[in-house]
Chains A and B, each alone.
Chain A
């Protein structure tokens, strides 16, 4: 049984984990992908599908957290141009 609160929590955890990447590209991708993924499955009515999607999301959360550690070991040397503020 997966309820709405759990889904929202999972979304929040994924967004928070994705924020930790030092690389701009993968950071933005993680944020975009989680929001797109949750929005795509927003209107699911079949509860077994909802549970499947939730389990998939949990797996992705593990992947993201593992990758954060790897990326933090090799941070980029220069800032990406997209991160610089317009002057």
Chain B
């Protein structure tokens, strides 16, 4: 009887010890974790899923195809229609992008491209699938 009581108390004591041990661990790790977030790169003003290098290369190809002057702004969110391109110009731009990146885009996906960002994302998807 006494041994059983002793055993029960010892069993009770052990989990309490474990709990305190766990508490100490969490407290210790919390103090190690500082709440400073990683500084976001200030270049990316638009939340874009594509890499900036891809977006820059796409912008370059677009500028050359549409013969835009250096001062004209081409960012990730720019629609091709805003730059004065109609559907035929868009087809030409997409062909130019395919050649620049050495990829093949599917018909229906290529038809859906309307902004620089969509083009860059689709290009990265294809490059990832190729690798």
Contacts and interface: CB of A to CB of B under 8 A. Distances in A.
Interface in B81-119: 86-88, 91-92, 94-95, 99, 107, 110-111
Contacts, number: 27
Contact of B86 (A12, A19, A42): A42
A19 B92 CA distance: 12
Contacts of A12: 91, 94-95, 107, 110
Dominant secondary structure of chain B at its interface with chain A:
helix
A5 B111 contact: yes
Contacts of B94: 12
A4 B87 contact: yes
Dominant secondary structure of chain A at its interface with chain B:
helix
A15 interface: yes
A35 interface: yes
A11 B110 CA distance: 13
Interface in B55-95: 86-88, 91-92, 94-95
A35 B88 contact: yes
Interface of B: 86-88, 91-92, 94-95, 99, 107, 110-111
Given A35-B88, A39-B88, A42-B88, 4 more contacts: A4-B87, A8-B111, A12-B95, A15-B95
Closest 9 CB pairs between A and B? A15-B95, A11-B91, A38-B88, A8-B87, A12-B91, A8-B91, A39-B88, A9-B107, A35-B92
